[in-house]
Amino acid sequence: MKRRFLHLDFKGIVPRFDRLEEYLRYFRQCGFEGLVLEFDCRVLWRSWPCAAMPVYTPEEAARIVRLAESLGFETIPLMQIQGHLEWALGDDSCAGLRENGTLTLCPSAPGSEKQLLAWMDELRTIFPRSRYIHLGADEVARIGLCPACRARLERGETKFQLYSTHVKKFCAAAEKSGFRPLVWGDMLLAEPDPAEAAKTLPESTVIVDWKYWGKGPFGSTRKLRDSGREVWGASGLQCAWYEHFRQILPFYEDRLENILGWNEFDGTVIHTTWGRSGNKYAFYPPWLMSLPLFAAAGDPEKWERHPWRERIGELSRLLRRALEFELVKVPAKIRAWPASCRLEEESREYIALGVEYQIAANRLLEIVADHDAQLASSRFVGIDRETMLRDLVEAPRKLHRDVKELLPKLGAVFDRNGLVGKEEFLAEIGSQFRRLDTVKPLELP
């Protein structure tokens, strides 16, 4: 069966409880049939009292789930059982669960199973009607390091068996709680024979093949399907890597290629919306940045008629060219895009600010590079004082002024929309420009 689910990762910038409903209604209008909710560090879990950055109480989380279901969404909780528990394992109260002191969970630690089962029980009370649970289990970077795990390796278990034995245990626990388990596919794909690796998991397990770059169909999906297990796909609706540190807008065309490619898949797809690369990484920007992508992912036919479709394509090309004389005209045009609701109005304002940020970020790099190049040349050709004054003294001053105006406007987006994380986001964005302070006028001879 072909369905479109939306995954929301709450560890990033999220709306406060009273502002979430507007998004859920918008996502439903986009056409998504289900929500995969990864509350992560944002719920004050009873089972993890050390939760790092809570925004919602467990009661509010349950109300979010009820609201989503009343809007017609199927809901799926996402927990993690080994990797990506950095938000909890970073707290010293959880030190006993660490794999040899790292922020990966140790499957041999005496308290690990009890802790995860308590979390699953808590999720069951928050998601009483859900048919599936996603167990995560992706990107487990550290396996078999501690004395207890090393002893198991010495007794003949492989690293993959340390992993798969642990995953199987929670697939079984999920079934006992009335959930059908989902597991990410990357750890299976890292094995020489992914189909054989997938067969070690119970037959009811759904494997989710996440491929966030390029256009499917992907060979990895076929390999996982060879196991006979049900395989779903997963796009990267909101994800990034190096580019997000100097860019607060995505490369929309890359995201669209991936999303629209997955929408042609002959099975269920989860469109993933990440809040950070990991718990200890910088924020990705708010969902407002991705509103056009939600519209594209939820229903490709509606997207064909969406007034932003052509405009986003054009914007993406201009962002990639990064030519200032082209980009300066863009924000005013974006602010005139047609908007069908308040969220689209806020989205277009955020995107316009994103272009203004990009102009400043590009100019910063140019100034830093120009400074170094001129310094090198001046030793050979001397210095043109007036030109240097313009390029290396006046230009950084103007950029400082522009950034000073831009940051409060970005902050106002947070205030108007009830988003958490304003201080952190502005610190992250502002950090780019601190380098300007190191650009000093050349020593003129």
The rounded distance, in Å, linking the Cα atoms of 232 and 266 is 9
Shortest Cβ 149–Zn ion spacing (Å): 3
Q: Which is nearer to Zn ion, 29 or 161 (CB)?
A: 161
Q: Which is nearer to Zn ion, 108 or 205 (CB)?
A: 108
The string of DSSP letters for 101-142 reads TSSSBPTTSTTHHHHHHHHHHHHHHHSTT-SEEE--------
Q: Which is nearer to Zn ion, 98 or 255 (CB)?
A: 98
Q: Which is nearer to Zn ion, 143 or 269 (CB)?
A: 143
The rounded distance, in Å, linking the Cα atoms of 197 and 161 is 9
Q: Which of 120, 123, 124, 84 is nearest to 105 (CA)?
A: 84
Shortest Cβ 148–Zn ion spacing (Å): 5
Shortest Cβ 135–Zn ion spacing (Å): 18
Shortest Cβ 98–Zn ion spacing (Å): 9
Cβ count within 10 A of residue 30: 21
The rounded distance, in Å, linking the Cα atoms of 34 and 36 is 7
Q: Which is nearer to Zn ion, 108 or 279 (CB)?
A: 108
The string of DSSP letters for 162-224 reads HHHHHHHHHHHHHHHTT-EEEEESHHHHTSSSHHHHHHTS-TTPEEEEE--SS-S--HHHHHH
Q: Which is nearer to Zn ion, 110 or 441 (CB)?
A: 110
Q: Which is nearer to Zn ion, 111 or 214 (CB)?
A: 111
Q: Which is nearer to Zn ion, 100 or 362 (CB)?
A: 100
The rounded distance, in Å, linking the Cα atoms of 141 and 99 is 10
Shortest Cβ 112–Zn ion spacing (Å): 9
- Is the CB of residue 127 less than 8 Å from the CB of residue 77? yes
Shortest Cβ 146–Zn ion spacing (Å): 3
- Is the CB of residue 419 less than 8 Å from the CB of residue 18? no
- Structural tokens at position 255: 């995201």
Q: Which of 282, 290, 285, 138 is nearest to 210 (CA)?
A: 138
Shortest Cβ 147–Zn ion spacing (Å): 8
Shortest Cβ 108–Zn ion spacing (Å): 4
R_g of the chain, CA atoms, integer Å: 24
Q: Which is nearer to Zn ion, 82 or 108 (CB)?
A: 108
Shortest Cβ 140–Zn ion spacing (Å): 11
Q: Which stretches of the chain bind Zn ion, using CB under 5 A?
A: 99, 106, 108, 146, 149
From first CA to last CA, the distance across the chain in angstroms is 74
